[in-house]
Amino acid sequence: EGVPRTLQAAGCPSLEPFPRAAMLSARAAPSLVRAARLCTAATRRVTADALVRHVDVSPVAETSTAFVGRSVDLGWGRVYGGQTMAQALAACQKLVGGDFSVHQLSCHFLRGGDVSADIRFDCEVLSHGRSFSAIAVRASQEGAPILAMTASFQRAERGLEHQDGLGPLARGLPAPEDLPTLADRFAPHLAKVPPRLRQLYSAEANPLDLRPCEFVAPWDESVRAPRQAVWVRAKDPLPPGDEAVHQRLLTYFTDWALLGTALQPHPTAMWRRELQAASLSHSVTFHRPFRMDAWLCHVMRSPSASGGRGFALGEVWSEDGRLVASTSQEGLMRVRSTERDRPAG
C-alpha cells in the first residue's frame, strides 16, 4: 500500500516498520477523538528493531546508486527531519561499503516531506580514496527535492586524540536513572497535547527512552537560558557489531529538541500557533564509537538567533564521559504578528 510495485520488487524494507497505531496520518486524525486512551496498556509497543527498519533503505532495481525509504507520520503531518537524514545516511553507507565509517554529515532541508509518499535517495560518489570517501545524496518525492546531504567517510586509523570539557555527570547533570521519562513528563498534561500527537508521547509508542534533564513543555512560553540536555537510549538491545545502524539512529535522534534550544530565551513556544519553525540545515560529526542501547546525553546550547533564524550546537556524551559526536542546526523561527503582539495605541 502506497509503495510502487517496482520498489516492492526491489526488496523494500517492511511496509509496517511501525505498527499502524503509531502511523498517525492526517487523514486518520478525526478518528482519534478518544485519543486520551492512547497511552493505555492497549497501545501496541513499538520496538527498537522497528526503528532500525524504519531508518533503512532498499536499492531501486534499475540503478546501483538510488535507494528508497518509507515515510512514517509521527503525527506532525509531515516527515520528521531525523527520518530523512537517517535514511539519506543509510543510502550513503550502502554505497560506500563496510570498510568506511561516516565521520561527518551535513545537510540542507529544502521543503517539507509528504508522509504519504516514499522518498527516493539518489547518490553520487564525489571522491573515493584509500582513506576517505565523500558522497552526495539528493532526497526527493515525486521528483521534487526535499533534502541535500554530503557525507564524508574514513577508514579506521590511529591518531592524535583529545576532548575538551566535562561529561554530563561530571558537570552536575542528573543521571538518567534519576529522571522521569518523557512519557511520564507528558502524562499529567495529555489534555494539552493535540490528539494526533498523544500516542507519540506515550510510553509504548516511542522505541527510544527519552529523559530530559529539565522538562520544557512545548506550550510553555516562559523565558529560559538557551541550554538543555536530554538522555536517550534504545529501549531494546540492538544487534552487536553494526556501527552503521547506531550512526543512523543517533542521526535520527539529533533532530529532536535541538532547534527548540534556540527558542528558550524568547517568550514563545514550539507549539504556539503564531510560530513558524522548521529545520534549515543540520550537521553531525562522529568522534568515537558508541552504542544507542547505552545511555547517551545530548547537551545543547544556542549561541545566537537573528534574522528569523535560530542556531544551536550540541555535544553527545556517553554516560562514562566520552564525547562521541557533535551537532549543529540552523532553523527558521518566524513569529507572525498577532493582536497581542501589537503595541497599544
Q: Which residues are catalytic, by number?
A: 255, 279, 329
CA distance 285 to 208: 21
Report whether 230 contacts 206 (CB < 8 A).
Answer: no
Q: Which residues in 187-274 belong to E strands, given as ranges?
A: 208-212, 227-234
Signed CA dihedral, 96, 97, 102, 107: sign only: positive
Report whether 218 contacts 287 (CB < 8 A).
Answer: no
**Which residue in the block uniquely carries the three cell numbers 533503505?**
57
β-pair partners for 210: 232
Task: Note every long-range contact of 89-92, with CB atoms under 8 Å and residues 24 or more positions apart, other chains counting.
Answer: 89/149, 89/151, 89/247, 89/248, 89/251, 90/55, 90/56, 90/57, 90/244, 90/248, 91/57, 91/67, 91/121, 91/123, 91/137, 92/123, 92/135, 92/137, 92/149, 92/151, 92/153
Task: Note every long-range contact of 34-40, with CB atoms under 8 Å and residues 24 or more positions apart, other chains counting.
Answer: 35/195, 35/196, 35/198, 35/199, 36/190, 36/191, 36/198, 38/198, 38/199, 38/202, 38/205, 39/183, 39/187, 39/190, 39/198, 39/199, 39/201, 39/202, 39/203, 39/204
Report whether 85 contacts 94 (CB < 8 A).
Answer: no
C-alpha cell at 245: 545502524
Report whether 106 contacts 150 (CB < 8 A).
Answer: yes
